[in-house]
């Protein structure tokens, strides 16, 4: 595949550049970025750049909760086994070990910081979700866990730490000097360009669910961090693995409303148009089977019945309970004219979590010196080929904290502060594409990915998608200097990488389903697909 031109994001002319300098620059303000920024600011001079408001993150939309072995019948050992089982043979066991062992302490710290997790008679209430062998999911505000945690962390960021926060700052690219990441170039709300130099950069930009037409991810989830890490030459991994959530409201909204897996944990059923449960007999856990198993069966039922959705049935559960336990879902459905208590709700799978990302070691260090990655943009190896439900907030907490601990060691060794960097920006100011053309191209890309690069793929469909994306790009002018254009090119970069990686993995495993290779093939494919700009070929099976 053709790489995106290295400097395409900077065709903004060579007007006045503003310079700032920090010890640590955090890009992104979800749970991983907030954890890293609040922790690092205890000792260091930290800035955070977010392209939207601090509350406009995937973290804020998280409903289910944080998986952590904190219950009387649970143990890190059990959580470890469940994570590996869900991960379909590709988890990094060392990383999973750290996740499950350090997780409970990170949850307790969040509570000390002011997060009010749901408790009954003083004990944490633990929810059941898919593929967990015991109730393990710590929750807050019923199904509002992400916003409760996010708000507590933002409070700590704003009131208790000295982090310089810049909202509405779109990072165009990472700055690399002598092979080291030394900061980032960003476009501010008034169109001003800023060079933020830093001794270390933490990439925490979240996911890329917006490459598909149906997604639970907010519109900001355009894979910017993935794409800028790619352009900076970081090693990437598992880019073929996009997790689809089984129960998103079947609608044209962007994003569409998530109907948390915890609903099924409380007894809601998945049924076909005739009201028949279809997960019984497919897996011993029925509706609470691992997500990939549920999505696969849903697709079979939809194809069998010639429909584009199935239904979630909670009508046998008490209405007072549903209203109180699931205020976000209940309220969201009511706003849209649905009655969770009295009717079956149309649902279909929607892109939800990008497993693929920037490879890190156990301390969040990427292959580019000076660059860390944490949260969804990273590939720590804990999710394998299918993430266990509610392990992602946990990963953001655990690895966000590990980044902080490593930063302390790195910065103590007094790496020299960077004062100047040769930027080599193009001086031209390109006109680019108007907003309507960019929006239309973005929508075409998303539809194409859903049609030919989505839940079920084949060599033919992947090649078609690559061809259509090339045609789409050829119809556009090279980008000018607008955030929406950069988002489109970031989506395009990641969509292509996903398609190429998906074409290389000739088997079906976890969230990756190939109609032309329907079986899991441990003999040939118990391995990862990696990618790096400049390798030949750029995307390759290990
Ligand atoms: C959910 O609430 O179903 C989402 C949990 C997750 O994706 O981890």
Question: Does 231 lie in the same domain as 363?
Answer: yes
pLDDT band with cut points at 50, 70 and 90 for residue 445: very high
Find, among 201, 218, 176, 214, the residue nearest to 424 by Cα.
176
Number of alpha carbons in the 13 Å side-chain half-sphere of residue 269: 16
Position 327 scores a pLDDT of: 97
CATH of the domain at 452: 1.20.58.100
Task: Look at residue 426 and tell me if it is in a domain.
Answer: no
Q: Three-state SS for 261?
A: helix
pLDDT(159) > 80: yes
Inform me whether the pLDDT recorded for 227 exceeds 90: yes
- What is the 312 CA–ligand 1 centroid distance (Å)? 16
Give the Cβ contact number of residue 173 at 10 Å: 22
**Are 454 and 209 contacting, i.e. CB atoms less than 8 angstroms apart?**
no
Q: What is the pLDDT of residue 1?
A: 33
**What's the confidence (pLDDT) of residue 4?**
39
pLDDT at position 181: 94
**392 ligand 1 Cβ < 6 A:** yes
- The per-residue pLDDT for 17 is 84
533 in any annotated domain: no
Ligand 1 atom closest to the Cα of residue 392 is 8
At 421 the pLDDT is 72
Q: What is the mean pLDDT of the chain?
A: 94
In a domain, 2, yes or no: no
Q: How large is the average pLDDT for residues 210-234?
A: 97
119 plus 209 within the same structural domain: yes
Residue 256 sits in the same domain as residue 327? yes
Please give the pLDDT value at position 418: 67
User: Does ligand 1 have an atom closer than 6 angstroms to the CB of 261?
Assistant: yes
Distance, in Å, from the CA atom of 59 to the CA atom of 144, rounded to the nearest integer, reads: 10
State if residue 142 touches ligand 1 by the CB under 6 angstroms criterion. Answer: no
Counting residues of the chain whose pLDDT is more than 70, the rounded percentage is: 95
Per-residue pLDDT at 8: 45
CB 525 within 8 A of CB 502: no
Give the residue among 202, 128, 496, 129 at the shortest CA–CA distance from 358.
Answer: 202
Q: Which of 231, 237, 264, 291 is catalytic?
A: 291
Confidence at 408, pLDDT banded by 50, 70, 90: very high
Query: What integer pLDDT is reported at residue 307 of this predicted model?
Result: 98
Atom number, ligand 1, closest to the C-alpha of residue 391 = 8
405 belongs to a structural domain:
yes
Q: What angle do CA 505, 508, 514 make, to 5 degrees?
A: 80
What average pLDDT does range 134-157 have in this prediction? 97
The verdict on residue 429 lying in a domain is no
User: Do 398 and 322 share a structural domain?
Assistant: no
The conformation of residue 300, written as its DSSP 8-state character, comes to H
Point out the least confidently predicted range of 58-62, 254-258, 411-415. 411-415
Q: Which domain holds residue 518?
A: 435-524
Global pTM reads 0.96
User: Does residue 370 sit in the same domain as residue 334?
Assistant: no
- Least trusted range by pLDDT, from 154-163, 282-291, 446-455, 511-520: 154-163
- Residues 196, 126, single domain; the answer is yes
Q: What is the pLDDT of residue 333?
A: 98
Sort 424 into a burial class: Cβ within 10 Å, 0-12 / 13-18 / 19+: exposed
Q: From the CA of 149, how far away is ligand 1's center (Å)? A: 15
* Residue 25: half-sphere exposure toward Cβ, Cα within 13 Å: 29
Asked if 82 and 216 sit in the same domain, the reply is yes
Q: Which two tokens stand for residue 329?
A: 């879902």
Minimum-distance ligand 1 atom for the alpha carbon of 352: 7
Torsion from C-alpha of 397, 402, 416, 197, nearest 10 degrees: -20
Contact present, 91 and 382 (Cβ < 8 Å): yes
Q: Is residue 270 part of a domain?
A: yes
Give the up-direction half-sphere exposure of residue 231: CA atoms within 13 A in the CB hemisphere: 25
| Residue 202 within any structural domain of the chain | yes
Distance between Cα 258 and ligand 1 center (Å): 8
- 221 shares a domain with 98: yes
537 C-alpha to ligand 1 centroid (Å) = 35
- Assign 3-class secondary structure to 123-189: EECEECCCCCCCCCEECCCCCCHHHHHHHHHHHHHHHHCCCEEEECCEEEEEEEECCEEEEEEEECC
Please indicate, yes or no, whether residues 107 and 148 belong to a single structural domain of this protein.
yes
Atom 8 of ligand 1: nearest residue by CA position: 390
pLDDT of residue 5: 40
38 pLDDT higher than 80: yes
56 plus 165 within the same structural domain: yes
CATH number of the structural domain spanning residue 310: 3.90.700.10
Q: How many structural domains are present in the chain?
A: 3
**Sequence-separated (6 or more) residues with CB below 8 Å from residue 99:** 83, 380, 382, 391, 394, 395, 398, 399
Q: Which residues on neighbouring strands pair with residue 402, listed in sequence order?
A: none
Rg of the chain (C-alpha set): 22
Ligand 1 atom at minimal distance to the Cα of residue 389: 8
Whether ligand 1 lies within 6 angstroms of the CB of 390 is answered as: yes
Peptide bond into 255 cis (omega under 30): yes
Quick one: average pLDDT of 237-254? 98
Decide which of 304 and 3 is more confident.
Answer: 304
- Cα(326)–Cα(335) distance, rounded to whole angstroms? 14
Burial of 500: CB neighbours in 10 Å, binned 0-12, 13-18, 19+: buried
For residues 156 and 144, what is the distance between their CA atoms, to the nearest angstrom? 19
Spatial distance between the Cα atoms of 218 and 224, rounded to a whole number of angstroms: 13
Distance between Cα 430 and ligand 1 center (Å): 42
First-to-final CA distance of the chain: 18
* Per-residue model confidence (pLDDT) at position 419: 66
Confidence of residue 6 (pLDDT cuts 50, 70, 90): very low
Are 343 and 146 in contact by the 8 Å Cβ rule? The answer is: no
At residue 10, does pLDDT exceed 70?
Answer: no
Regarding the beta carbon of 145 and ligand 1, being less than 6 Å apart is answered no
Cis? peptide before 537, omega within 30° of 0: yes
Length of the chain: 542
Closest C-alpha among 168, 169, 171, 167 to residue 227: 171
Q: Please check whether residue 164 is in contact with residue 196, taking contact to mean a CB–CB distance below 8 angstroms.
A: no
- Domain annotation covers residue 540: no
pLDDT digits (tens, 9 = 90+) for 475-501: 998 888 889 999 999 999 999 999 999
pLDDT of residue 161: 79
pLDDT over 70 (residue 277): yes
Nearest atom in ligand 1 to 259's CA: 3
Mind listing the pLDDT tens digit for each residue in 289-341? Answer: 999 999 999 999 999 999 999 999 999 999 999 999 999 999 999 999 999 99
- Where among 312, 336, 351 does a domain terminate? 351
Cα 261 to middle of ligand 1, angstroms: 6
Same domain, 133 and 222: yes
Domain match, 134 and 207 both? yes
Of 328, 351, 374, which one is at a domain's C-terminal end? 351
| pLDDT for residue 432 | 87
**Domain final residue pick, 383, 413, 443:** 413
291 is catalytic: yes
Residue 189 neighbours by CB distance under 10 Å? 12
Q: What is the pLDDT of residue 237?
A: 98
């Amino acid at each position: 595949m053709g790489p995106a031109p290295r400097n395409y994001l900077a065709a903004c002319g060579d007007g006045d550049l503003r310079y700032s300098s920090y010890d640590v620059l955090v890009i992104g303000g979800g749970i991983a970025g907030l954890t890293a920024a609040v922790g690092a600011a205890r000792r260091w001079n930290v800035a955070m750049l977010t392209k939207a408001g601090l509350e406009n993150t995937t973290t804020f939309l998280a409903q289910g909760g944080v998986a952590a072995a904190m219950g009387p019948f649970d143990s890190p050992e059990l959580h470890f086994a469940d994570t590996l089982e869900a991960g379909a043979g590709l988890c990094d066991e060392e990383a999973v070990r750290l996740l499950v062992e350090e997780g409970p302490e990170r949850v307790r710290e969040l509570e000390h910081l002011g997060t009010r997790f749901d408790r009954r008679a003083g004990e944490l209430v633990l929810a059941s979700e898919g593929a967990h062998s015991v109730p393990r999911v710590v929750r807050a505000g019923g199904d509002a866990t992400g916003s409760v945690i996010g708000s507590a962390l933002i409070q700590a960021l704003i009131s208790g730490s000295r982090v310089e926060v810049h909202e509405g700052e779109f990072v165009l690219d990472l700055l690399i000097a002598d092979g080291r990441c030394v900061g980032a170039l960003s476009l501010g709300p008034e169109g001003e360009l800023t060079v933020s130099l830093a001794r270390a950069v933490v990439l925490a930009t979240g996911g890329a669910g917006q490459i598909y037409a149906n997604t639970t991810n907010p519109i900001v989830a355009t894979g910017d961090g993935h794409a800028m890490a790619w352009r900076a030459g970081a090693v990437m991994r598992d880019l073929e693995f996009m997790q689809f959530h089984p129960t998103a409201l079947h609608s044209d909204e962007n994003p569409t409303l998530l109907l948390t897996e915890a609903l099924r944990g409380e007894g809601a059923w998945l049924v076909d148009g005739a009201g028949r449960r279809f997960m019984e007999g497919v897996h011993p856990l029925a509706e609470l089977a691992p997500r990939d198993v549920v999505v696969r069966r849903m697709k079979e039922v939809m194809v069998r019945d010639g429909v584009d959705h199935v239904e979630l049935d909670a009508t046998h559960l008490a209405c007072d309970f549903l209203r109180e336990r699931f205020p976000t879902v209940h309220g969201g459905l009511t706003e849209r004219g649905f009655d969770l208590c009295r009717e079956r709700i149309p649902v279909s799978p929607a892109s939800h979590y990008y497993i693929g990302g920037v490879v890190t070691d156990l301390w969040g260090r990427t292959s580019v010196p000076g660059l860390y990655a944490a949260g969804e943009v990273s590939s720590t190896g804990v999710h394998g080929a299918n993430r266990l439900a509610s392990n992602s907030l946990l990963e953001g907490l655990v690895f966000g904290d590990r980044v902080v601990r490593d930063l302390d060691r790195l910065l103590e060794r007094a790496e020299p502060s960077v004062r100047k960097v040769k930027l080599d920006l193009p001086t031209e100011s390109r006109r680019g594409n108007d907003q309507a053309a960019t929006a239309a191209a973005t929508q075409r890309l998303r539809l194409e990915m859903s049609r030919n690069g989505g839940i079920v793929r084949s060599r033919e469909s992947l090649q078609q998608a690559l061809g259509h994306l090339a045609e789409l790009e050829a119809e556009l002018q090279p980008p000018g200097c607008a955030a929406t254009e950069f988002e489109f090119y970031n989506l395009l970069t990641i969509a292509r990488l996903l398609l190429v990686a998906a074409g290389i993995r000739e088997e079906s495993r976890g969230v990756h389903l190939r109609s032309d290779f329907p079986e899991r093939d441990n003999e040939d494919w118990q391995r990862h697909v990696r990618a790096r700009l400049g390798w030949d070929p750029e995307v390759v099976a290990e």
